[in-house]
Chain A
Amino acid sequence: MSLEIINLWYVVSAALFIFGLKQLGSPATAVKGNKISSLAMLIAVVVTLFNKNILPWEWIIGAILVGSLVGAITAQKVEMTSMPEMVALFNGSGGIASLMVGWAALYNVGNTTFTDITILLSILIGGMTFSGSILAWGKLSEVINSAAVVFGAQRFVNALILVAIVVCSVMFCLEPAVDSPYLYAVIALALIFGVMAVLPIGGADMPVVISLLNSYSGLAACAAGFAINNNILIVAGSMVGAAGIILTNIMCKAMNRSLGHVLFSGFGAVKEATKVEGEVKPINSEDAFLILEAAQSVTFVPGYGMAVAQAQHVVRELGELLEKNGAEVTYAIHPVAGRMPGHMNVLLAEANVPYDQLVEMDDINPRIDKVDVAVVIGANDVVNPAARNDENSPIYGMPIINVDYAQTVFVLKRSMASGFSGVDNPLFFGDNTRMLFGDAKQSIAAVVAEFKT
């Protein structure tokens, strides 16, 4: 196949990628969209095999076999709760691949300076995506401490690394060679920079990092596309880059923080929130059942704590019973409810909650006062009215689901850690709030049992 025909097929592949992404815009067509996208990938790979200048066959077959096996097993085995870790690892694997593509492209003869620069970009972005993703994976899976690591001279050290990267890159471009010491320096510096970039980010900010690394892995593919003069890499890579940036932006907005703030400052100076005092009103499962039975509309507000307690299946069961009882049941999901964008939706879908019952924060808030019972399960910050009222609260300004405006609020909580005072969530003391203490799964199961008797 001549190069023109191969390039023509790349155009077909690009069109299919775009169409596939468009189909991903609705849950009804998303499965098809994903298949179209994978068909696009298949076409791109197969036509590339007709290029005369490719790797020896035995190497290709071996590499694809091993890669497919690892990818397929991981994809089948992974728990839905561990999706963030898996995405982080896959991002890293994309990053290292781009680094290697760039590196190998140096062996081509007759590279222009422009090509050399794009090769370096591919190595840089790929390298920092790789090391950053591995560190992110470590933090997510708690292999290493997930807290933000901030030290005094951090910005200075980072600036120093950046300067060193620029200097080494310039030196390399002046005298490009596959065994240039500056090349090795750039690779090493890229890896160090990736670690330094993720180090100061921790805890609740991890969803931002995964989105951002996702974006980088696309940009790395994009740079590799420039390095080897290939359109399809640029088209597909920039789509991924755009996707990552959009998700990063959504996550930042949902936490009321700027991207710069997330990236450089660890967790900002914590102000002392105004202490709220009051009396909580505990109820038992029997009372909860009586209130729920009379409710016309019920909204569940899940947080990651629900998934930790593995309560999503019993929650769905309660939801179904309530529906049979004539109530309208919805699940209100805050953008940062899980550990990555859209994570909570996947966890609920896994528990067979139909997707038309999943509603976004902006849809539920205008009509939350018409909700009879809002059931908060394993969520805290995302329903904390202090974000609205208390300027001293560390989460002040963060958009929340206004459950305190609902007629009645049930909060499922293991216990009241600090007794009757000192808790910084005023929701617990609201007049319309009832606390259902105990393990979330057992509490809900008890209510379900009441329904069945």
Chain B
Amino acid sequence: MDAVFLALILMLSIFLGFELISKVPATLHTPLMSGANAISGITIVGALISAGSGTDMLATILGAAAVMFATINVVGGYMVTNRMLSMFKKKDVDQSGGKS
């Protein structure tokens, strides 16, 4: 039953994902990709939990390494996405670069 429930969630999220992302304009595809990259860092939640119940040292090391790699993904992904998105400006806002 648990597996079926998880599969249901998977199915719904995939459809929702397709709906949402096919609406993102081509202009934003690179930030979308780096943003999605940051979201895939959600593995960090799994990393925090997965190694917890055991007392094995190797499991702890694996878990900690996974936390580190996933954090790179999360922090780096969100920051670079923010950096990129902040560069997208509308015409009337942008007066800085104009030469007289």
Contact = CB atoms under 8 A, between A and B. Distances in A.
Contacts of B85: 27, 30-31, 34
A225 B46 CA distance: 7
Interface SS, A side: helix
A227 B20 CA distance: 26
Interface string A139-175: 0000000000000000000000000000000000000
B3 to A, nearest CB: 5
B48 A355 contact: no
B72 to A, nearest CB: 4
Interface string A246-288: 1100100000000000000000000000000000000000000
A295 interface: no
B17 A53 contact: no
Chain A CB within 10 A, most for which of B6, B23, B39, B42 = B42
Nearest to A249: B22
Contacts of A24: 24, 28, 31-32, 35
A64 B43 CA distance: 13
B51 A90 contact: no
Interface in B21-73: 21-54, 56, 58-60, 62-73
A109 B6 CA distance: 20
Contact of A345 (B30, B64, B91): B30
Contacts of A41: 38-39, 41-42, 74, 78
B70 to A, nearest CB: 4
A54 B49 contact: yes
B23 to A, nearest CB: 5
Interface residues of A, number: 119
A234 interface: yes
B78 A34 contact: yes
A222 B54 CA distance: 22
B36 A214 contact: yes
Interface SS, B side: helix
A38 B33 contact: no
Nearest to A34: B81
Contacts of B54: 104, 107-109
Contacts of B42: 41, 44, 221, 232-233, 236-237
Contacts of B3: 114, 226
A94 to B, nearest CB: 5
Given A31-B85, A97-B41, A104-B62, A67 B71 contact: yes
Contacts of B58: 107, 178
Interface in A311-366: 316-317, 320, 333, 335, 338, 340-343, 345-346, 349-352, 354-358, 360
Given A103-B62, A104-B50, A243 B45 contact: no
B72 A63 contact: no
A445 interface: no
Interface stretch (A15-23, A370-378, A390-398, A421-429): A15-23
Contact of A45 (B32, B45, B90): B45
Contacts of B30: 83, 338, 340-343, 345-346
Given A62-B64, A100-B63, A231-B6, 12 more contacts: A21-B21, A75-B75, A75-B83, A76-B79, A97-B70, A97-B73, A105-B46, A108-B50, A178-B58, A237-B43, A246-B21, A346-B84
Closest 4 pairs between A and B when the two form their complex, measured CB to CB? A67-B71, A342-B29, A242-B17, A71-B76
